[in-house]
Structure 1
Amino acid sequence: MSISANGKSLNTMTVPSQQLPVSYTPDVVVVGGGPTGIAAAMAAARNGADTLLIEQRGYLGGMGTAALVPAFCPYTDGEKPVIRGIGLDLLERMKQEAGADFLNRYKDRLDWVPIDVETLKRVYDDAVLASGAKLLFHTFADQVLLDGDRIQGLVISNKTGRSVVQAKLYIDATGDADLAALAGVPFQVGGEESELQPGTMCYVVTGADKSRFDRFIQETGQGGQLEKTIVEAQQNGDLPDGRKRISGIAWISDTVAGFNFGHIFGIDGSKAEDLTRAAVEGRRLIETQIRFLRKYVPGFENAHLVHSGDQIGIRETRRIAGDYTLVVDDFLSMRTFEDDIARNSYFIDIHLANATSTMTIKHLPKGQSHGVPYRCMLPQGKSNLIVAGRSVSSDRPVQGSLRVMPNCFAMGQAAGTAAAMLSVTGGGFRDIPIRELQSKLIEQGAWLGERPGQADGGVTVAAGHVTYDEENE
């Protein structure tokens, strides 16, 4: 027998039915251990729910650890932090545990703080376990068992074998809406022609000399993005055509720096074949970039590559069809919704789809933000599933703003809190009493704008930029 898929005829086989053991029966299961899933699991467990967090790798952190994104995007609107609660607490924990030198450099920063990857992995482990949530690493959810509009269970696969997880409530924190797609939720991918933002293979080098690099930047007057130097190298054939700036250099110490540099085009992060090609091409591009740094950039003559991403960094894949679709006019008008569960001030940041196109950038005024409504996390046709993170229901421009890690923490905290509440009262995610949810979020440190009972709390902020381009991730 054969079927047609992506225009190709494929042979098929019938897989025998199986009787699978039920391995876990939590109140809440979270799939995906990036910032969204971390915050969701912590919030659910802290609010009393028996919670299981499933992650495909052997550590937490998503793009910040697996893909080595060098720095956290802004937590502030330029005046005050808009991302607080669990996300802000975890940022501060990383700074505290990364050592005295790191803390001294970045203790007053909330925007573009470099990521110390190995410290952050440990911080995430400790925080999730301290919340009372259970962890299950090296595990995929590969099948959703449905009963009408409800998820009845997930089939998981790992070294132990295949089994079923049965929960009351399910949180899709995969970033790619994998769980929602398996459950048949409709979604959109990319732009009008299904074009997607490119991926970036990030990496970390040692052997650098920050003081020498800083002098070079000062002498050439070109800023940390090295535009003049990159154009020269492209003209000489030492770098490929494409973006004419480094997206970001994040200095972890005076000799260690993380790079977000260059693009791999035509990658769909929801396809293993594309991720495979991106891994091979990404490592080749890093080799080219290291040669460029040694030849053209003072301070990097002795740069040595110590770590490349376990996978390429992915900026967008699926966007679910939800109860409300957040659109660009909501962003530009800085709209507030009755069911806000977070605020967002990060700019619209859509990277070029090919080497000759341009980026789309749109900033909100300093000190301003827009609301993120609870309804954009509710997938059409499913009652006990919520989707949080970069794959929520939005148009493409807004996805280019919502997709960054601080926002994912905020959405995850809301999803986990809602799940914990419903694990006690029963019902699906549409049954949440929104005012009660908002009150709990505020009590637990989240910021939902200037609302009765929520003050700024006297938080001060240094919103400066580490040597890192604000038009970057």
Structure 2
Amino acid sequence: MTPNPNQNLKPNPNPNPTMKWSPTLRLPSEELPVLSEVDVAVVGGGPSGAAAAIAAARNGARTLLVEQRGFLGGMGTLALVPAFCPFTDKEKPVVRGIGLELMERMKRSCRPAYYEEYRDQLDWVPIDAEVLKRVYDEAVLESGASVLFHTFVGQVLLNGDRNAVEGLVLVNKSGRSVVKARYVVDASGDADVAALAGAPFQKGGESGELQPGTMCYLLAGVDRGRFKQYLADSGDTGQIPKAVRLAQDNGHLPPGRREVSGFAWISDSLVGVNFGHVFGIDGTKAEDLTRAAVEGRKLVRTQVEFLRSCVPGFENAHLVSTGEQIGIRETRRIVGDYRLVQDDFTSMRSFPDDIARNSYFIDIHMATSKESMDMRHLPPGRSHGVPYRALLPQGLGNLWVAGRAASADRVVQGSLRVMPNCFAMGQAAGTAAALCAADGGTSREVDVKRLQRLLMEQGAWLGEMNGRCESHG
């Protein structure tokens, strides 16, 4: 008898008749090996995850950091985002602690000429991705945390009341296994763990629109001196808006943002480039990420040809690498115990449970090529607070969500999403998880004043009203 390949398939009720029907397959139950039992599991090894793992381990928790790639760093290494966004409010560093420590460590690990140029710079510091990967490796392992690369979280195991995560089902080349964790920090950037656990979230704008992705890249063989001379002679600025607009008007570049987002000079002949957009990308969908990778590399080719032919200093530019993944700015945002909103940003509000400060401007990239950028700045020297409650997804008592998926409206997410802020939120989440591991209790039972004191003792800055206003250095 010929086996029927569809014999185990069953119809999937389709409430939306306009959507394509898809069959489902019921998998057999299975027993999975328990890989380890930890106090704190951190999912995602970008800035928020690295900081969370370091903080949790330094504060005594048995910590495992799970990362789907073979290195840490998130958008700064995976997507080759070429520079750290500002750590300062234009007067002083507002993001300090582990994040500032790691950036300074990267500087010291770079070539002497790089260190000499950027030693005193805290804003828009160029990222040497290969150096930064090693810095993350060393710092996380030195903290006492364990790391597992090339691993996804495919499923979460909830307790009987479905209000706490008891374990994570890991998927990697070794197969499927379980990590049992007392507490979990979701630093995936996309609230993946929170979503799997059933936590409520929002995504995009009122019409579902999302900020576009960008395929960043690295160019060698560039002449920085000749480029500077071009700027002086032409009156163009560092983001070359004159050259970009002329090329767009002539059809040599596609429509969209009318300037380069940024050049980050690692040396006088090596530059990271953040330029252009790929629209309509949902970073939580593999199909969209696949399309973005193909379209992004095609767009980079067009951009490099433009730079070689139209921008002095780039005539001999050689494309060294594009990001392994397109850079993603926005996906899910959890619905937390507090939701940061636009008025919190513009009024520079502080909260009794602040665990970080943010001074980065609202930076919402247009969802289509016909729209414009939305940028709003705070005055120099000013910032707003990030409350602990914004890290707590509703309905779950042992999970923190740190990074760009924290609880905020779309406007504030456009400011909160950058790497320095992710470091700060990650450090707070990891420290809170370690306190819970030591004392027991839920994320909402943390003594916030104790958490704030510990964060400040370990280098974080929470504003003048929270005690210390020490200078940097």
Aligned mates of 1:220, 1:5 — CA distance in 2: 59
SS at match of 2:357: strand
Aligned mates of 2:257, 2:418 — CA distance in 1: 20
Picking from 382, 401, 423, the partner of 1:368 is: 382
Q: Which residue of 1 aligns with 2:366?
A: 352
1:17 correspondence with 2:29 = yes
Tell me by how many angstroms 1:263 deviates.
0.2
Aligned mates of 2:466, 2:96 — CA distance in 1: 17
Aligned mates of 1:452, 1:189 — CA distance in 2: 33
Q: Which residue of 2 aligns with 1:459?
A: 472
Aligned mates of 2:469, 2:384 — CA distance in 1: 17
Aligned mates of 1:434, 1:135 — CA distance in 2: 28
Letter in 2 for 1:17: S
SS at match of 1:166: strand
**Aligned CA-pair RMSD:** 0.9
Picking from 85, 106, 109, the partner of 1:94 is: 106
Q: Which residue of 1 aligns with 2:217?
A: 203
Tell me by how many angstroms 1:236 deviates.
2.0
Aligned mates of 1:452, 1:138 — CA distance in 2: 40
Q: Which residue of 1 aligns with 2:396?
A: 382
Q: Which residue of 2 aligns with 1:467?
A: none
1:321 correspondence with 2:335 = yes
Q: Which residue of 2 aligns with 1:60?
A: 72
Q: Which residue of 1 aligns with 2:3?
A: none
Q: Which residue of 1 aligns with 2:444?
A: 430
Picking from 151, 159, 163, the partner of 1:139 is: 151
Deviation readout 1:365-411 (Å, 9 max, x if unpaired)? 00000000000110000001110100011000000000000000000
Q: Which residue of 1 aligns with 2:52?
A: 40
Deviation readout 1:82-120 (Å, 9 max, x if unpaired)? 000000000100000011011011001000000000000
Q: Which residue of 1 aligns with 2:96?
A: 84
Picking from 64, 72, 75, the partner of 2:87 is: 75
Aligned mates of 1:383, 1:51 — CA distance in 2: 18
Tell me by how many angstroms 1:241 deviates.
1.3
Picking from 112, 137, 142, the partner of 1:125 is: 137
Letter in 2 for 1:333: S
Picking from 202, 208, 223, the partner of 2:237 is: 223
Q: Which residue of 2 aligns with 1:29?
A: 41
Within-5 A mapping of 1:56-455: 56-147=68-159, 148=161, 149-451=163-465, 453-455=467-469
Tell me by how many angstroms 1:452 deviates.
5.2
SS at match of 2:306: helix
Aligned mates of 1:13, 1:74 — CA distance in 2: 48
Deviation readout 1:141-195 (Å, 9 max, x if unpaired)? 0101111211111100001110011011000000000000000001110000010
Aligned mates of 1:135, 1:177 — CA distance in 2: 20
Letter in 2 for 1:25: E
Aligned mates of 1:24, 1:307 — CA distance in 2: 36
Aligned mates of 2:281, 2:373 — CA distance in 1: 17
Aligned mates of 1:218, 1:365 — CA distance in 2: 29
Aligned mates of 2:333, 2:466 — CA distance in 1: 33
Letter in 1 for 2:39: D
Aligned mates of 1:2, 1:413 — CA distance in 2: 46
Identify unmatched segments of 5+ residues in structure 1. Answer: 461-473
Aligned mates of 2:341, 2:465 — CA distance in 1: 23
Tell me by how many angstroms 1:16 deviates.
0.4
Tell me by how many angstroms 1:231 deviates.
1.4
Aligned mates of 2:360, 2:171 — CA distance in 1: 36
Aligned mates of 1:90, 1:68 — CA distance in 2: 17
Aligned mates of 1:131, 1:245 — CA distance in 2: 41
Deviation readout 1:285-340 (Å, 9 max, x if unpaired)? 00001100010000000000001000000000000010000000000000000000
Aligned mates of 2:354, 2:115 — CA distance in 1: 33
Count residues with an aligned counterpart. Answer: 459
Letter in 1 for 2:398: N
Aligned mates of 1:5, 1:303 — CA distance in 2: 53
Please report the TM-score for the alignment, with normalisation by the length of structure 1.
0.96
Tell me by how many angstroms 1:5 deviates.
8.4
Letter in 1 for 2:54: M
Aligned mates of 1:154, 1:445 — CA distance in 2: 31
Deviation readout 1:414-461 (Å, 9 max, x if unpaired)? 0000000110111110010000000000000000000354122x326x
Q: Which residue of 2 aligns with 1:464?
A: none
SS at match of 2:225: helix
Q: Which residue of 2 aligns with 1:470?
A: none
Aligned mates of 1:8, 1:437 — CA distance in 2: 49
Aligned mates of 1:60, 1:119 — CA distance in 2: 11
Tell me by how many angstroms 1:257 deviates.
0.3
Tell me by how many angstroms 1:65 deviates.
0.2
Letter in 1 for 2:76: G
Aligned mates of 1:459, 1:171 — CA distance in 2: 29
Q: Which runs of 4+ in 1 moved over 6 A?
A: none
Aligned mates of 1:432, 1:214 — CA distance in 2: 53
Letter in 2 for 1:2: P
